[in-house]
Amino acid sequence: MLQKKVFEAQIEEYSTEANPYDSYADLLLEMGNKEEAKKNLQKSIALAEKSSTDLDEQIFRASKAKLAKLENKHQMFDFMEGDFNVDISNYKEDKVVNKNKIRSSSSYDENGNILTITYYNQGNNPVGKRIVVYDAIEDRYDMAFINPTDPMGINVSHIKVKDLGNNKVELMETYVNRKGEKRKVRHEVMKNSSNSIE
């Protein structure tokens, strides 16, 4: 394929620049060669990270986002998509301090990048909404929580996700509370059945 040879020649000539590797990865993705595309994106990221030009900053972000999508990091919550009954248990010092039952309805946008979760109380009235998007640069999820009864309006937090297997994930959430103090909360989310999350 002529196009492939052109990119390979560019890489050979400009082997210390990030752009040829990023562009070649795009072609490899079009050809269905995901593993080679990953290697070229990783090379692009490594080179762009060392540079301080505006172009390399853009390439760094683009390559990071493409690599994250290839590795499906942006959809770690796939198993939560749909409508579920949710059992919530809040712990303090290993003791349950309260329990709650709600319902959630979750879906991704048409590109599969943004997860929106709407929460309903037992009377089926909406009580809040979360919007979650993957930040490839920081390797974390950024989340906005919208509570119609909260005078602060939108609360923003950042989440690191660890896959525990068997439809179970650990979420380490950091946020700043109303007093301006940084807080960290650990969540375990588990899908019990086709319509139940704990």
Q: Which domains does the chain have, with CATH numbers?
A: 2-71 (1.25.40.10), 75-197 (2.40.128)
- Mean pLDDT, the chain, as a whole number? 88
The total of other beta-carbon atoms located within 10 Å of residue 158's CB is 14
Query: pLDDT at residue 196 above 90?
Result: no
| pTM of structure | 0.74
pLDDT band at 106 (very low <50, low <70, confident <90, very high): very high
7: tokens are: 């990119």
